[in-house]
Amino acid sequence: MAMSREAPSLVKLCVGTVIANLRYVGDVSGVDLHLLKDILPHCTMDQLICIENSTQDVDLSPVTNDLWKRFYEQQFGEENMMLVVKRMKQKRVVFKWKKLYEVELLGYSLEEKVTGGGSLSWAVLYGQHVEEKVRMTVEIFFGLFFVDKWIQEDLYL
């Protein structure tokens, strides 16, 4: 007696095709979030950045926030990630993991460049805007969570 397998649904076939061709995916504003929850975990960081930059009409953070948390943990370690989670709970604030990743990455790259040489000031080397991001990075990760208008617009969920 042969067992017959069920044919996959059209939705599952389409999701599988999209996953197989993620390198070609751009704007996903017309795709339901429940489908994106199945598709986006298969993205590399570069693919996710491309998709987020291409999608202007829809806030993808409900789907991508956990992915950025995973990328953060991979890049900076579980201990650092747990420290950030602990500090956010202590201060009762929530930040988008993508922005935390960008700020942490910016902090590391600036620290390497500054300690690598030169005695020029931060403002001369990187401009006032980047200096503000570095100040914010230090305050976030040392538990101060200074919040001004710029941070509220870019970091809060």
How does DSSP classify residue 3?
P
Q: What span, in angstroms and rounded, lies between the C-alpha atoms of 59 and 29?
A: 9
Contact in structure between 87 and 143 (CB atoms under 8 Å): yes
Q: What span, in angstroms and rounded, lies between the C-alpha atoms of 156 and 65?
A: 12
Helix (H), strand (E), coil (C) string for 51-89: HHHHCCCCCCHHHHHHHHHHHHHHHHCHHHHHHHHHHHH
Which of 57-61, 75-79, 133-137, 148-152 has the weakest average pLDDT?
Answer: 148-152
- Cut 0.85: pTM above it: no
Per-residue pLDDT reduced to its tens digit, 79-106: 989 988 998 898 888 888 998 888 888 7
42: tokens are 């298969």
Contact in structure between 65 and 36 (CB atoms under 8 Å): no
Per-residue pLDDT reduced to its tens digit, 12-63: 999 999 999 999 999 999 899 999 999 999 999 999 999 999 998 889 999 9
Buried b (16+ CB within 10 A) or exposed e, 114-144: beeeeeeeeeeebeeeebbbbebbeebbeee
